Structure 1
Amino acid sequence: MTDPAKPAELGDGEHLQVLGYEDSFHRSMSLWANFALGFTYLSPLVGVYSLFALALTVGGPPSIWWIVIVGAGQLLVSLVFGEVVSQYPIHGGIYPWARRLWGKRYAWMAAWVYIWAMIVTITAVSEYGSGFAASLFGIPADATTGLLLTLGLLVIALAINFSGTKWLARVARIGLAAELIGVIGLGLYLLIFQRKQEFSIFFDTMGVEGDGSYLTAFMGAALAGLFLFYGFEACGDVAEEVENPARRIPKAMMLTILVGGVSALFSFGGYVLAAPDLQAIVAGEDADPIPAILESTLGPVGAKLFLIVAVTAFLSCVLSLQAAASRLLYSFARDGMIPGSRWLSKVSAAKVPVNALIVACTIPAIIAVLVWINAGLLVPVTAFAVLGIYVAFQMVVLASLRQRLRGWKPAGPFTLGRWGLVINIVALAYGVFAMVLLAMPGASGDPLTDWVVLIGLAVVLGTGLLYLLIARPDRKSTAPEGDAVAVADEIRVRTGAVRAVQAPRT
């Protein structure tokens, strides 16, 4: 019997019709599979391993607190995203959200930045994963081997993505298990059985500040958290392949942040407490300390098992990144907003955007070849990725705040109610703070090195703006834009009509 006091919800197909689209995908992804996709994209194992030595060298053991600070800030961003995706559960994430909250040209710039940030991230994760694969198979990690293993990870992920959403979900769940074993399981083992430091070490700067202020050193270590906490938005990129996405995706995004944060804390903390020579790591004498920590605590066999877990996690991360990037490209193409729109918007018999997936594999492969030619390119091409992600995020947060001030009351089943405006403002303030930290120039004395993050972002923004002004893709698209208030009103009308019909049956 229906409760007339409980708000009715639109069916998935009806909700899409309100937004101007028809169902084109299999809705075979559950809440846990959607969470697994976001979690393996966020990948605390990848983030912690990549930045552990840098964080300790710059900020010492207290740099672990950036995981808490950034996790809290990104949780606020995920709450804002949750309200948006609950009203707009459509493929593409950042692009359709920015379009429906603001407009076509604004969405073009947000998506352009986000696409390139994701593509570069796919390359970077594949490159870092190739090092683990080389260690696992006992292969010398030279440039050519690294290229072949990087391309191998990209192609294997592409093949799995081609097979359909069910296989994507299965491998994402395997990756989730690998991540949890590799970060929480190993972290707990190190904390309980291999601890060589006291817990008070997380409040000991170990002299990293030198003669200056520790605040400067601590702020310099912010990347330890900022690099880690994105990927949760991928849960929304595949919205049309999720059952009841308006309710499940917000939960999946918040779970990704919470579980990812706890996992990262266990992992980072475990490595610090188990380090046999922590002072050498902080002093910068050991640039890659985790293998030595694993060898000393797990032994050769245990270290080899961890490598299997790590390679699985890296592969799953590449898989999730490709899936998210392809859905964004598909969404962009479906609205006629990108060159080759008809080709990119093609969906295969397995109900996946096959051509968009090819692009999400091919361009990272081309960048990998360029890195093989000049290894020094890896850092410059990836340096802007984190800032690009945060810029795209905050464009959605800003657009959401603008609509609230114009009277928008989110109409999806997930809402923040009266707290929405406050959370939106604080999330935007956090995002601006994070972008300032990411954009701060270095102090090496080499202008190219010190300003590479802003240079990379300027190149991407400049090329996107030029294409927008010259090709005017916004004029070629008739898809809806800036309709947050109107769509919310229509959803309320439709759910109200449903309640009116159901009420006499109670």
Structure 2
Amino acid sequence: MSAEPTTSEHLGDGEHLAVLGYEDSFNRSMTLWANFALGFTYLSPLVGVYSLFATALATGGPPSIFWLVIVGAGQLTVSLVFGEVVSQYPIHGGIYPWTRRLWGKRYAWMAAWVYIWAMIVTITAVAAYGSGFLASLFDIPVTKEVTLVLTVLFLVVALGLNFSGTKMLGRVARIGLGAELIGVIAVGLYLLIFQRKQDFGIFFNTMGVEGNGSYVAAFLGAALAGLFLFYGFEACGDVAEEVADPARRIPRAMVLTILVGGVSALLAFGGYVMAAPDLQSIVSGKDTDPIPGILQATLGPVGAKIFLVVALTAFLSCVLSLQAAASRLLFSFARDGMLPGHRWLAKVSPRSKVPVNALIVACSIPVLITLIIYVGPDGLLNQITAFAVLGIYVAFQSVVLASLRQRIKGWRPAGPFSLARTGFVINVIALVYGVAAMLLLAWPGHSGNVLNDWIVLIGLGIVAGTGLLYLFLARPDRKSDAPEGDAIQVAELLRARRG
């Protein structure tokens, strides 16, 4: 990375923001540690590993753990590209303002529209999965009614905490970070060291998941184990205007999120595999929720209850971080006049200095989706969340593609975080990786059920289609005079201002 004098050495945070055309209206109380904690609890290796452990083993066997390494490396290149962009544009909202300033209004509208819905559905899903932990803690039977009530409880409690302000958000994110580290690293290490039932060679044993076919197909089918896990680092940039020295700190927080999250996930996934009393039943698909049994067998009833408390803390922190990130994106979208009711959505509380109305929306829509899930058929949660991962990756790659386009046109990022001469190569690698990831996510299944096999593309098509309709009928891009496509000009201006 470049060691040349940087923008932030000569421009304060408010001055940097003024160059970009905005006023500094938030409390910059979020530290590097708190910003990293926000991204890490959004990424949440505990949630990711717990959600997909059984599916990954049943699809690809123990070698599916290598997807954590593959996807982690790919997403690291994406985070480096994001780091250069946010270092020049430390603006609230992340993906929306980045794509707008790198390409244009319409392009940014579609990227942000897909990303908003992917985030909202993810908020709903994480709260719903967390409700199962809460029910288990109090030995409450998990019915649709219980799931409904506890999911709404998760969403409302997170909203209340978010209303308290940025300091509370940072504080809870740090608590969630501690819970995540205990729940994944400490437990993972304990299982690996003291509770091994298998040797390390098990990670090279397919255990027959390929049947009579090729293992390549089975391994590719398990890709979701990694793809679902490694996003959330972008949330570090969603709250850029609440971070002190964001142009320098946010890129570091993003990279830390990937590295620490990857190590944590590897330890947790590996620990559960090594400690499983009956690994074959998980691989065969007979045991579809094996982690509680593994914890009961290795930690005992009291230890398992303690783990549930830790897990609940991590789930709540994850919902909190997701709500915060979604609200800042909505605020950024509305501040530029790009959404219906934009004046209402763009209001910032004079007391807490948070976008309260955007937070209300980031809680209310997940509550409505939860009600739809309650009255809908069984399995609807899995179906409506299937497109979320692909939607996130589409939004990510919109930034990567726009960044590469600007580099080809001559853009040299002007923030203090710089990849220097390696930037172009890393940008290309990130794009190739992202396209491959999207193909793996969108590839139809072969179950014979059209809805299940095509649900990812159907969901993305509905969201993208409605976004396009609104874009071309309401023309929100005509109602906004916020700057667009100015990456080269802003870079030159920043270099001139720093002398």
TM range (shorter): over 0.9
Q: C-alpha distance in 1, partners of 2:301/2:56?
A: 26
Q: Is the 8 A contact 1:46 1:314 kept in 2?
A: yes
Q: What secondary structure, in the 3-state scheme, does the structure 1 residue paired with 2:379 have?
A: helix
Aligned to 1:355: 357
Q: Residue 140 of structure 1: CA displacement?
A: 1.2
2:372 to 346, 351, 370: 370
Match of 1:94 in 2: 95
SS in 2 for 1:177: helix
SS of residue paired to 1:281: helix
* Structure 2 portions without partners, runs of 5+: none
1:4-54: CA deviations, max 9, x gaps?
Answer: 984444210000000000001000000000000000000000000000000
**Residue 444 of structure 2 corresponds to residue 441 of structure 1:** yes
Distance 1:199 1:9 in 2: 52
SS at match of 2:321: helix
**Cα distance change of structure 1 residues 6 and 409 upon mapping to structure 2, 3 Å threshold:** closer
Residue among 405, 410, 431 paired with 2:408: 405
CA distance in 1, matches of 2:249, 2:469: 38
Does residue 337 of the first structure (1) align with residue 333 of the second (2)?
Answer: no
Match of 1:222 in 2: 223
Q: Could you say which residue in structure 1 is the equivalent of 2:311?
A: 310
TM-score (norm 2): 0.98
Question: Which amino acid counterpart does residue 496 of structure 2 have in structure 1?
Answer: V
Kept in 2, the 8 Å contact 1:9–1:413? The answer is no
Partner of 1:351, secondary structure, is: coil
Which AA in structure 2 matches 1:443?
Answer: H
What is the rounded CA distance, in whole Å, between the counterparts of 1:232 and 1:478 in structure 2? 29
User: Does the Cα contact within 8 Å between 1:39 and 1:232 map onto a contact in 2?
Assistant: yes
Distance 1:5 1:215, change over 3 A: closer
Give the aligned partner of residue 503 of structure 1. none
Aligned equivalents of 1:9, 1:232: Cα separation in 2: 27
Return the offset for 1:232.
0.1
Match of residue 380, structure 1, among 373, 379, 383 = 383
What secondary structure, in the 3-state scheme, does the structure 2 residue paired with 1:267 have?
helix
Superimposed CA distance per residue, residues 80-138 of structure 1 (whole angstroms, 9 cap, x where no aligned partner): 00000000000000000000000000000000000000000000000000000000111
- After superposition, the C-alpha distances for 1:273-328 in whole angstroms (9 at most, x for unaligned) are 00000011100110100000000000000000000000000000000000000000
What SS does the aligned partner of 1:401 have?
Answer: helix
Quote the residue 1:262 is aligned against. Answer: 263
Q: Which of 453, 477, 483 lines up with 2:480 in the alignment?
A: 477
1:394 correspondence with 2:394 = no
Match of 2:127 in 1: 126
Once the two structures are superposed, the pairs formed by residues 257-296 of structure 1 within 5 Å of their partners are: 257-296=258-297
Cα distance, 1:249 vs. partner?
0.0
Give 1:199 shift: 0.2
Counterparts of 2:234 and 2:397 in 1: how far apart (Å)?
A: 12
C-alpha deviation, 1:69, in angstroms? 0.1
In structure 1, what residue type is equivalent to 2:191? L
Q: Please tell me whether the aligned partners of residues 96 and 107 of structure 1 are also in contact (alpha carbons under 8 angstroms).
A: yes
Aligned-partner Cα distance in 2 for 1:376–1:51 = 15
CA distance in 2, matches of 1:135, 1:145: 11
- Partners of 1:370 and 1:311 in 2: CA distance: 24
Deviations 1:238-270 (A, max 9, x none): 000000000000000000000000000000000
Tell me if structure 2 keeps the 8 A contact 1:86–1:412.
Answer: yes
Q: Give a deviation string over 1:222-248, Cα, whole Å, max 9, x none.
A: 000000000000000000000000000
State the Cα distance separating 1:376 from its structure 2 match. 2.7
- What is the rounded CA distance, in whole Å, between the counterparts of 1:312 and 1:444 in structure 2? 37
1:422-433 alignment to 2 at 5 Å?
Answer: 422-433=425-436
Other structure's SS at 1:207 match: coil
Q: Give TM-score scaled by structure 1 length.
A: 0.97
2:419 alignment counterpart: 416
**8 Å contact kept, 1:64–1:265:** yes
Is residue 234 of structure 1 aligned with residue 235 of structure 2?
yes
Residue identity matched to 1:315: L
Matched, 1:56 2:57: yes
Q: Is 2:492 aligned against 1:486? A: no
Letter of the 2:482 partner, please give it: A
Equivalence for 1:500: none
The aligned runs of 1:36-115 (5 Å cut-off) are 36-115=37-116
The code of the aligned residue for 1:332 comes to F
Q: Which residue of 1 aligns with 2:195?
A: 194
Alignment-derived partner of residue 137 in structure 2: 136
Superposed CA RMSD in Å reads: 0.9
Aligned-residue identity in percent? 77
Q: 2:322 maps to which residue?
A: 321
Contact 1:23-1:240 within 8 A present in 2 as well: yes
Q: Distance in 2 between matches of 1:136 and 1:159?
A: 22
CA distance in 2, matches of 1:87, 1:206: 49
Q: Which amino acid aligns with 2:430?
A: A
The code of the aligned residue for 2:82 comes to: F
Aligned residues: 493
Looking at structure 2, the residues matched to 420 and 5 of structure 1 have their Cα atoms a distance apart, in angstroms, of: 15
Q: Which residue of 2 aligns with 1:160?
A: 161
SS at 1:149's partner residue?
helix
Please give the per-residue CA displacement for 1:319-349, whole angstroms capped at 9, x wherever unaligned: 0000000000000000000000000000012
3-state SS in 2 of match to 1:451: helix
1:407 alignment partner AA: G
Separation (CA, whole Å) in 1 of partners of 2:77 and 2:183: 27
